Amino acid sequence: MKQLVVKNFWLKVLALFLAVIVWLYVVGELNKGTPDEKSLFDRILPSRLAAKEIPIKVALVGKPRPGYHLLSEEISVKPSSCVILTSRNLLKNIGYLTTEEIDISEFTKSIAKEIKVRPVGPGVILEKDFYVTVVIPIRKLEEQKQVTQ
């Protein structure tokens, strides 16, 4: 056993030293580069990755036509969440995903629309072209008054 450690001792020390130098160089290279390169390394190194189910919110633009009302509390999204894969650091900062914008200024009745979820950014992986079905209830103001009476 002693012979195993003592034989070629200085070669073993040199090999260990070179291994540490190479390791430090690789770690330094991984921390350099553009955010896109870093996100690529985050995708390659699974020990730094984490997955989480994130809720999806609808991005609405505009207001319904005069005489119509958006029932915002009844807006539904199916599926209501999406699993994303990203680095643990980025995952802490992501509270929700949003859909592409929907302009409701021309609608006079409730609509159901299949719409794409916006990409979050580099280093965040979600299903390619993830779509959700959004139901946006729009009612005439008179109908809403009759329902509440």
pLDDT of residue 44: 62
Q: What is the pLDDT of residues 107-139, one digit of tens each?
A: 888 999 999 999 888 778 776 678 999 999 999
Q: What is the pLDDT of residues 39-80, one digit of tens each?
A: 666 666 655 677 888 999 999 999 888 889 899 899 999 999
Residue type, 104: I
pLDDT of residue 119: 85
For 26, 82, 90, 113, the CA distances from 36, given in Å and listed in that order, are 17, 23, 14, 33
Torsion angle in degrees (nearest 10) through CA of 110, 115, 120, 124: 130
Res. 101: pLDDT tops 90: yes
What pTM did the predictor assign?
Answer: 0.60
pLDDT of residue 96: 92
